[in-house]
Amino acid sequence: MHEPIQNQFDITELDLPDILGTIHEEVRARFGEGKVANYIDALAHVPLDQFGMALVTREGHVFEVGDSREAFSIQSISKVHTLTMALDAVGDALWERVDREPSGDPFNSLIQLEYEKGIPRNPFINAGALVVADVILSNYDKPEEALLKFMRARSGSEDVGGDEVVAKSERESGYRNIATANFIRSYGNIKNDVDAVLDLYFLQCSLRMNCVELARSVSYLAGKGRCNVSGEQVVSWQLATRINSLMMTAGTYDAAGDFAFYVGLPAKSGVGGGIVAVVPHVMSLCVWYPGLDDQGNSILGRFALHRFAQMTGLSVF
């Protein structure tokens, strides 16, 4: 097997603390923008005066600013980690049950599922993540423990855990997810008990982590599959490139085109206001601001990543 070319960007000339400081100042001037995810009661009261940003270089150096150590609900960012676990368990067989196309529709949309016969468009929309959760249930002895173990090993933090209030709140208002899971089950593309699938999905969404932990948790996507926290080869370098490509085309749902245009980095968002992003071979990042735009992506998190890409010239294009 050949090794990929290094494709190194030289970041030693960048004044990263200064760049993060400038972004922080610009973001603070816009505090209050966007709306919190009010369809989940437990997230509806998070104040809009918090912003954090952290980046972890491939060598493991951390640069951070603002509320980068404040834990928040990671929500759909967890779909990157569960996809990795499912691919580790079943490999390419996953693609018989989940497609790899951008959906162009909201993350919780059901509309494509019927005419595509229960095969979700990609693993990052809710429908896809529910199938991924089903695959984890079928292939791990203790799925919830396996998920927590994976997150703790990737982030280097034993503090990572689920927030029962958020998980309960999601379940209580989870009519769409419940409908989606049952609909997929009707096509036979969910094999386990629907409630067990939903429990795992709500647990992964309810995990609380901070920006530094989240940036670390995807370091393997910036390091050719190698996690710079544990030193483990989490996935092959080829698989890391593929997960990055899915984040680019589907990680921010119906805003993925705009993200590619304005940021140019693979990214995955969550309705808790976090977004992780990857500069392949160079660094992984996380930004957090709880106010969301119409597509459910952090409005100032997106702005911060845009400014970061603009100031550093880092882009995959």
**Count of residues near ligand DON by CB under 6 A:** 12
Smallest distance from ligand DON to CB 255, Å: 9
**Quick one: which of 126, 157, 219, 249 contacts ligand DON (CB under 6 A)?**
126
User: Given the rule CB under 6 A, which of 145-153, 226-234, 236-244, 265-273 is the region that contacts ligand DON?
Assistant: 265-273
Contacts of 28-34 with C-beta under 8 Å, sequence gap 24+, read: 30/300, 30/303, 31/300, 32/291, 33/291, 33/299, 33/300, 34/289, 34/290, 34/291, 34/292, 34/293, 34/298, 34/299, 34/300
Least Å distance between CB 85 and ligand DON?
17
Given the residues 271, 278, 279, 282, the one annotated as active site = 271
CA dist 133 to 36, 165, 197, Å?
26, 21, 6
* From 67, 163, 170, 254, residue interacting with ligand DON (rule: CB under 6 A): 170
Alpha-carbon dihedral sign for residues 122, 129, 233, 283 = positive
**CB neighbour class for 230 (10 Å; exposed up to 12, middle 13-18, buried from 19):** middle
Q: Does 108 bind ligand DON (CB under 6 A)?
A: yes
Catalytic one of 73, 76, 78, 155: 76
Q: How far apart are CA 55 and CA 285, in angstroms?
A: 4
The answer to whether 109 contacts ligand DON (rule: CB under 6 A) is no
Q: Which of 253, 276, 284, 298 is catalytic?
A: 253
108 is in an annotated binding site: no
Which of 194, 170, 222, 191 shows the shortest CA–CA distance to 55?
222
- Bridge partner residues of 268 (DSSP): 276
175 is known as an active-site residue: no
Report whether 126 belongs to an annotated binding site: yes
Please say which residue, 157 or 269, places its beta carbon nearer to ligand DON: 269
**Among 80, 87, 271, 283, interactor with ligand DON by CB under 6 A:** 271
266 binds ligand DON, rule: CB under 6 A: no
> CB of 90: closest distance to ligand DON in angstroms?
23
Residue numbering of the annotated binding site for substrate: 76, 126, 170, 177, 201, 253, 271
